[in-house]
């Protein structure tokens, strides 16, 4: 979970109050799903004291900064919902003096950008530290280690506008990066600079690399790796900054820019929009003035709120509770439209810095937190039940023990992923994968239909470890199945992966034979045309006439898609099918 260090004096000033005891402060933090990890050192001067706060909500990156967390506490204590007049929205663009032009060359590399100007006050040491911390938390946690989001800060005084965002040959451009003294090409940065080595995995295999320059050709940065040592070297005392974010998911990039803009506005900076002009179509259009409000309202009926929370609440209570969470809401009256009756409820407009209202349940949750957990009357359970492990859980645990005994390390993964990871990298056609209609980001847009992509994701960042690598996972998958009532089957799958220079089909067959021997099952094999494996070196597994799995040597294209240079074998089994039969 994200942890942030906040200057005590700055935090209390932004929160609008000071809590006298640790217990009172910890209770106040619950509205942000946060905990006080470490109190400040009272022996230090007030301006140097630091609080360490742990955030437990991964769906709200707006809380991963001093201003964002303080804002939530201030609102929950009855503070006024802030206005941010610098936002543009669909059909309504704010005037922008500065412009960024996005060249067509970055479309297939790192296609999206958002930015704004922050001015009006000198940056203090505490403010600069917090900006850098917010930058890193958003890029590392929300931006998947800078893969989907990265951020840069620049001094406006020496930038010649407009700024150009383009893709270049990594050997054709050189500049002096931050914390360096001599020019390096982009490729040299990936091999020699500490930040280049740390994030080389994002760009090193691409033929073109992104670059941000001003109209005179001066380099601002090499996103998502490193800023330049002149235009990108922000210092204490600077008064006018350009803040930019680039990435592969336009919604995520835009939301991160909105979070940063709102945080700086709360700290007293003046925010000026920047127009981003694309040479190609984007989900938000070819011209987008950022910060940009793109969130859609979410409706939740009073009946659902009552069902979720166990108590009937009227509109005024719900609206007040949502305002304490930063959201604006309005009552929707039940009306008859022909034979259909539209239910009464609440329509919620998410604040500019949030995009986590994905379902009516999210509205009910914010009503609950906004009103206060202690305001709900506790009820004793009316039913008495005795819990026990389900048969599939018992069977799965047995299989886990066997795989561990065979030398495999257990892994645990998310069930959601991106199309690139779950379909394209696996040479799939996406015919049976389930897509979420309102995903928060493209990284959580699809429900996985196989565990092999998850295993390969781990292997793709494990090249520094000594071979052989043996990993496995037992978890849920879901895929389209017209026979099911809802058109989707959810199954318990086992997947394992072995990466080694000598791994081959015979190795995989031996592993399957060992596993089936110890679970006391008979099986047969037949040729498989699974595109994830090499033709002629893969086999389907049949159990009591049903096809329940596959094993073999991974296809070279799959290995290349994941950046792997060592041969690998993999297998996947439907444990539900083994248990049901």
Beta-carbon contacts of residue 155 (< 8 Å; ≥ 6 apart): 231, 233, 234, 235, 238, 240, 241, 242
In this prediction the pTM is 0.74
* 391-580 topology per CATH: BirA Bifunctional Protein; domain 2 (3.30.930)
Whether the ω angle into residue 570 lies within 30 degrees of 0, i.e. cis, is no
| Residue 228 pLDDT > 90 | yes
Task: Name the band, by pLDDT with cuts 50, 70 and 90, for residue 315.
Answer: very high
Residue 381 has pLDDT above 90, yes or no: no
> What pLDDT is recorded for position 235?
85
Q: Under CATH, what is the fold of the domain 98-290?
A: Phenylalanyl-tRNA Synthetase; Chain B, domain 3 (3.50.40)
Contacts 24+ apart (CB under 8 A), 365-368: 365/308, 366/321, 366/322, 366/325, 366/327, 367/305, 367/309, 367/313, 367/317, 367/318, 367/321, 367/322, 368/308, 368/309, 368/321
- pLDDT in the model for residue 335: 59
Q: CA 396, CA 410: separation in Å to the nearest integer?
A: 12
- Do 7 and 47 touch, CB atoms closer than 8 A? yes
What single string gives the DSSP state of each residue in 168-210?
A: E-TTT-EE-BTT-SS-EEHHHHHHHSHHHHHHHHHHTT-SSEE
What is the rounded average pLDDT for all residues in the chain? 92
CATH topology for 298-374?
A: Phenylalanyl-tRNA Synthetase; Chain B, domain 1 (3.30.56)
In tens, the pLDDT along 88-133 reads 999 999 999 999 999 999 999 999 999 999 998 888 888 888 888 8
Q: What is the reported pLDDT for 59?
A: 85
Q: What is the DSSP letter of 327?
A: -
The pLDDT-based confidence of 455 (bands split at 50, 70, 90) is very high
CB 226 within 8 A of CB 188: no
Residue of 461, 469, 551 lying closest to 502 (CA atoms)? 469
Question: Which listed CATH number (3.40.50.11740, 3.90.870.10, 3.30.56.10, 3.20.20.10) goes with 3-76?
Answer: 3.30.56.10
Q: What is the rounded average pLDDT of the residues 427-440?
A: 87
Shared fold status for 298-374 and 391-580 = no
* Domains of the chain, residue spans: 3-76, 98-290, 298-374, 391-580
pLDDT grade, residue 517 (50/70/90)? very high
Query: How far is Cα 481 from Cα 497, in angstroms, rounded to an integer?
Result: 26
d(CA 564, CA 162): 40
What percentage of the chain's residues is helix, strand, coil (to nearest 5)?
30, 30, 40
The predicted-structure confidence for 241-276, as pLDDT tens digits, reads as follows 999 999 999 999 999 999 999 999 999 999 999 999
């Amino acid at each position: 979970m994200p942890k942030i260090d906040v200057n005590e004096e700055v935090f209390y000033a932004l929160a609008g109050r000071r809590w006298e005891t640790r217990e009172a402060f910890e209770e106040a933090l619950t509205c942000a799903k946060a905990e006080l990890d470490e109190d400040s050192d009272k022996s230090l001067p007030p301006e140097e004291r630091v609080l360490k706060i742990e955030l437990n909500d991964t769906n709200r990156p707006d809380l991963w900064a001093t201003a964002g967390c303080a804002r939530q506490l201030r609102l929950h204590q009855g503070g006024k919902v802030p206005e941010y007049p610098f936002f543009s929205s669909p059909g309504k663009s704010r005037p922008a003096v500065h412009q960024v032009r996005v060249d067509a060359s970055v479309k297939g590399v790192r296609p999206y950008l958002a930015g704004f100007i922050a001015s009006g006050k000198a940056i203090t040491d505490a403010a600069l530290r917090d900006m850098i911390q917010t930058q890193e938390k958003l890029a590392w946690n929300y931006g998947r280690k800078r893969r989907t989001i990265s951020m840069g800060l620049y001094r406006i005084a020496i930038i010649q506008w407009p700024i150009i965002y383009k893709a270049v040959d990594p050997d054709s451009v050189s500049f002096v990066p931050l914390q360096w003294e001599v020019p390096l090409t982009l490729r040299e940065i990936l091999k020699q600079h500490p930040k280049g080595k740390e994030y080389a995995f994002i760009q090193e295999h691409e033929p073109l690399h992104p670059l941000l320059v001003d109209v005179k050709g001066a380099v601002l940065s090499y996103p998502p790796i490193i800023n330049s040592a002149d235009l990108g070297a922000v210092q204490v005392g600077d008064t006018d900054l350009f803040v930019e974010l680039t990435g592969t998911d336009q919604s995520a990039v835009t939301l991160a820019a909105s979070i940063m803009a709102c945080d700086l506005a709360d700290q007293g900076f003046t925010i000026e929009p920047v127009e981003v002009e694309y040479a190609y179509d984007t989900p938000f259009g070819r011209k987008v003035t950022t910060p940009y409000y793109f969130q859609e309202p979410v409706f939740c009926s009073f009946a659902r709120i009552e069902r979720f929370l166990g108590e009937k609440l009227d509109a005024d209570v719900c609206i007040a509770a949502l305002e304490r969470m930063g959201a604006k809401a309005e009552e929707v009256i039940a009306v008859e439209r022909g034979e259909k009756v539209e239910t009464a409820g609440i329509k919620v407009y998410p604040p500019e810095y949030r995009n986590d209202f994905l379902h009516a349940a999210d509205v009910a949750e914010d009503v609950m937190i906004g009103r206060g957990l202690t305001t709900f009357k506790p009820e004793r359970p009316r039913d008495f039940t005795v819990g026990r492990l389900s048969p599939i859980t018992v069977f799965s645990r047995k299989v886990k023990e066997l795989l561990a005994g065979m030398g495999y390390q257990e892994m645990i993964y998310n069930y959601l992923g991106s199309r690139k990871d779950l379909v394209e990298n696996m040479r799939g056609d996406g015919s049976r994968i389930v897509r979420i209609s309102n995903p928060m980001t493209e990284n959580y847009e699809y429900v996985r239909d196989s565990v092999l992509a998850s295993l390969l994701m781990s292997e793709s960042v494990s090249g520094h470890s000594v071979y052989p690598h043996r990993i496995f996972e037992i978890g849920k998958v879901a895929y389209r199945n017209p026979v099911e009532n809802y058109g989707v089957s959810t199954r318990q799958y086992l997947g394992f992966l072995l990466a080694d220079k000598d791994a081959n089909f015979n190795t995989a067959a031996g592993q399957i034979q060992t596993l089936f021997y110890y679970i006391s099952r008979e099986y047969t094999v037949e040729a498989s045309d699974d595109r994830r494996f090499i033709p002629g070196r893969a086999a389907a597994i049949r159990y009591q006439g049903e096809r329940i799995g596959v094993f073999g040597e991974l296809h070279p294209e799959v290995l290349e898609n994941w950046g792997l240079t060592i041969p690998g074998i993999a297998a996947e089994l439907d444990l539900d099918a083994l248990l049901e039969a």
